[in-house]
Amino acid sequence: TDDEGCQLYLAPSQLKENASHGFGLGIFTGRHIYEGELLNDLNEIIIPLYDSSMLDITHPPLREYLWPTMGTLPELAIHSNDRMKSFWFAGGISSMAPCTSVNFNVENNAAGEMVGALRWNLNEDYGVPSREDPHAGSFSYRHNATYLAARDIAPGEELIVDCFDDNFDGLSLTDKKRNNMYKSNDVSYMCLDNVKSGESQVPGIGKGLLAGRSISKEKIILSSPVVPINRRDLIGDGTGKTVQSGINNYQLMLNYALGHDDSDLLLLPYGPFVNFINHPPPGKMANAVIRWHPFAENEIDVPRRMQFHHSELFQQYAKAVTETHGKGLVIDIVALDQINADDEIYIDYGSSWTKAWNDHVKRWRAPSGASTYRTADQWYNDRTLNPNPQIVRTVEEQKTDPYPGNLQTICYYDSDSKIVSVDEVNKIIYTYWDDDSMPHECMRPCKILERYPDSENPNEFMYTAEMLHFDGEEKFWFCAIREGKHISRDVTYDGILILDKPYTHDMFLEQAFRHEISVPEGFYPKEWMRPKVRRKEDTTVSRSDIGDEFRKKKVGEVLTKKQKMVEDNIKSSRSDL
């Protein structure tokens, strides 16, 4: 019957049995999805992680949930030529669906049709806070990690995402595995139909989680697996070093993590919708609470890597937990009251968070120039500031009609561009810009020297641009270009972006709010607290070494074919496989 059914649910993935496919739960559809459908209801928040060295040094579980920034957050990708250190994370499909480049059924929409957006890369939300507002830079301005159905997807099928690289087929799908229909009486099946994301009912705080229908008290609203993170990994570059002086020393990702003042273990929820949940505004009470998902009796029937409640983690110390891959601890968001359709769902972020927020608001001083400051996206989409969005200004025009000082022009430019001629004396390399190899894999700052009508399409312009070198550009980087001046003709409008200069976006503001969401009292076991907080008698608890197969391996041991490709700087993709 209808109420037995579920349109979207989590269940133990049947594709992750094999070690190379990740761990734990998958996302399943209970309805028929048609080829080409934009899964817009599954929009997710794009959460950046920038200049993160820790990922090179250790192989923390978080790494398995990160994607490269090139197509999605180009303003991070052009920080330096070391863009392999910047990533984005999103809950839902981006984190939970296994990936393959052959048998996938959904594909990332980053470069696709952005609803209402003129340009795919410029798609921050409308109504992001002003730089004068204490909310500035405290949450992600991008909520559009969306996917398109690459083929018809039948009820009971698990979502499998396109890896982005050309020849990785990790999955050997067999038809008998494709039918995992929802079972309402089984706690390892978690229905996600109760909720939808939308504008928060609290002004200025971005998006929120709304009830899609009425939910009765004590009912599970939503379930989500969590990935453990060492707190240190979200500070500076993850090795304790400041990324750049004068910018925030805490990654924005911290605001999306769960934690406890006395613990260095953070938990980042990565299921669909869960990152949208806000704290109630003054005068309102939380109508939901975080709890651990109950253990399913029948879990013992599935392989350990597909289980989601490894109770031995509760007996390990925080550090061991942060190094533990693949044991998907699962949380539930449970209704504390009757909730009506369209009500916003709030959890109490805790007294430590509330104090930090109130102190932040009291202390808040907007940076200078805040009243007129616009991010690249805000500027681009404001017709009073940018009346001709289809035209890029040349350097000559910029002398009288400059772009705001925080913006720069960026060009896509692959190192194999077609060389037309070389002026050996003046060391100038002339090339034709290559439009055929979209999507381009490399980009760099550029100067727009000239604009002229496209001979084949007189309504559009083409550009001559000088491609600039990065400071200290690495010679053996796959986007490296040879020394000298590179002047490229016939660059199209799609080849040029106007982006925020490095470290200027609100997310880098030194005074932007940073604090993790505090878990309810008693939610973290004592073992997860810092040693001085643990009481003596508790430290004698003997910790089990069951689960050693999930322990962190040394870098090198864990390099799968997929990771190797990423390491090799080949057009990359999610690195968990």
Ligand X SMILES: C[S@@+](CC[C@H](N)C(=O)[O-])C[C@H]1O[C@@H](n2cnc3c(N)ncnc32)[C@H](O)[C@@H]1O
Question: Binding residue for ligand X (CB under 6 A) from 69, 275, 431, 575?
Answer: 275
Q: Which segment (274-282, 289-297, 519-527, 565-573) binds ligand X by CB under 6 A?
A: 274-282
Rounded CA-CA distance 265/229 in Å is 6
Which residue spans within 15-163 are E strands per DSSP?
A: 25-29, 47-49, 67-68, 87-89, 99-100, 106-108, 147-149, 161-162
Minimal distance in Å, beta carbon 45 to ligand X? 5
Q: Is 273 in the site for ligand X (CB under 6 A)?
A: no
Q: What are phi and psi of 475, to 5 degrees?
A: -65, -35
The residue to which tokens 């490399």 are assigned: 442
Q: Is 230 in the site for ligand X (CB under 6 A)?
A: no
Residue count, binding to ligand X (CB under 6 A)? 20
Minimal distance in Å, beta carbon 269 to ligand X? 9
Q: Is 140 in the site for ligand X (CB under 6 A)?
A: yes
Tokens of 123: 């798609």
Question: Binding residue for ligand X (CB under 6 A) from 58, 95, 255, 464?
Answer: 255
Rounded CA-CA distance 272/290 in Å is 15
**Which 3 state secondary structure label does DSSP give 359?**
helix
Tokens of 314: 């509760």
Q: What are phi and psi of 314, to 5 degrees?
A: -70, -15
Question: Binding residue for ligand X (CB under 6 A) from 86, 94, 138, 464?
Answer: 138
Rounded CA-CA distance 325/322 in Å is 8
Query: Are 42 and 150 spatial neighbours (Cβ–Cβ below 8 Å)?
Result: no
Q: Which segment (132-140, 289-297, 407-415, 435-443) binds ligand X by CB under 6 A?
A: 132-140
Question: Binding residue for ligand X (CB under 6 A) from 101, 200, 322, 409?
Answer: 200
Question: Binding residue for ligand X (CB under 6 A) from 79, 142, 260, 279?
Answer: 279
The gap between the terminal CA atoms of the chain, to the nearest Å, is 38
Comparing CB distances to ligand X, the nearer of 323 and 344 is 344
Q: Is 55 in the site for ligand X (CB under 6 A)?
A: no
Question: Binding residue for ligand X (CB under 6 A) from 5, 156, 281, 525?
Answer: 281
Rounded CA-CA distance 462/496 in Å is 10
Comparing CB distances to ligand X, the nearer of 204 and 484 is 204
Minimal distance in Å, beta carbon 406 to ligand X? 22
Minimal distance in Å, beta carbon 355 to ligand X? 13
Q: Strands across the sheet with 47-49, in order?
A: 47-49, 87-89, 67-68
Question: Binding residue for ligand X (CB under 6 A) from 15, 45, 190, 227?
Answer: 45
Query: Are 145 and 276 spatial neighbours (Cβ–Cβ below 8 Å)?
Result: no
Minimal distance in Å, beta carbon 568 to ligand X? 34
Comparing CB distances to ligand X, the nearer of 199 and 473 is 199
- Which of 90, 348, 319, 323 minimizes the C-alpha distance to 224? 90
**Which 3 state secondary structure label does DSSP give 232?**
helix
Comparing CB distances to ligand X, the nearer of 157 and 506 is 506
Position of minimal CB gap to ligand X: 206
Comparing CB distances to ligand X, the nearer of 207 and 534 is 207
Question: Binding residue for ligand X (CB under 6 A) from 278, 287, 307, 381?
Answer: 278
Rounded CA-CA distance 38/117 in Å is 15
Minimal distance in Å, beta carbon 85 to ligand X? 23
The residue to which tokens 């002086």 are assigned: 245
Rounded CA-CA distance 448/398 in Å is 10
Sign for the pseudo-dihedral over CA of 408, 409, 414, 420: negative
Minimal distance in Å, beta carbon 471 to ligand X? 33
Comparing CB distances to ligand X, the nearer of 28 and 513 is 513
Question: Binding residue for ligand X (CB under 6 A) from 117, 205, 422, 480?
Answer: 205
Tokens of 467: 């491609």
Minimal distance in Å, beta carbon 139 to ligand X? 4
Q: Which segment (34-42, 147-155, 199-207, 410-418) binds ligand X by CB under 6 A?
A: 199-207
Q: Which segment (201-209, 221-229, 307-315, 529-537) binds ligand X by CB under 6 A?
A: 201-209
Tokens of 305: 């890597």
Task: List b or e across 329-355, with b for residues whose CB sees 16 or more CB atoms inside 10 angstroms.
Answer: bbbbbbbbeebeeebbbbbbbbebbee
Question: Binding residue for ligand X (CB under 6 A) from 28, 256, 373, 433?
Answer: 256
Minimal distance in Å, beta carbon 290 to ligand X? 12
Rounded CA-CA distance 83/571 in Å is 12
Dihedral of the CA atoms 452, 375, 405, 434 (nearest 10)? Answer: -30
Query: Are 235 and 66 spatial neighbours (Cβ–Cβ below 8 Å)?
Result: no
Q: Is 504 in the site for ligand X (CB under 6 A)?
A: no
Q: Is 197 in the site for ligand X (CB under 6 A)?
A: no
Q: Is 139 in the site for ligand X (CB under 6 A)?
A: yes
Comparing CB distances to ligand X, the nearer of 206 and 445 is 206
Q: Is 276 in the site for ligand X (CB under 6 A)?
A: yes
Comparing CB distances to ligand X, the nearer of 146 and 200 is 200
Rounded CA-CA distance 448/466 in Å is 7
Q: Is 202 in the site for ligand X (CB under 6 A)?
A: yes
Q: Which segment (97-105, 134-142, 222-230, 291-299) binds ligand X by CB under 6 A?
A: 134-142
Q: Which segment (162-170, 276-284, 314-322, 492-500) binds ligand X by CB under 6 A?
A: 276-284
Q: Is 123 in the site for ligand X (CB under 6 A)?
A: no
Rounded CA-CA distance 312/431 in Å is 60
Tokens of 133: 């507002």
Comparing CB distances to ligand X, the nearer of 130 and 492 is 130
Those residues whose C-beta lies under 8 Å from the C-beta of residue 386, and which sit 6 or more positions away, are 379, 380
Question: Binding residue for ligand X (CB under 6 A) from 26, 206, 212, 272?
Answer: 206
- Which of 574, 502, 566, 559 minimizes the C-alpha distance to 81? 502
Give the DSSP letter of residue 323: T
Site residues (vs ligand X, CB under 6 A): 45, 135, 138-140, 200, 202, 205-208, 255-256, 275-276, 278-279, 281, 357, 513
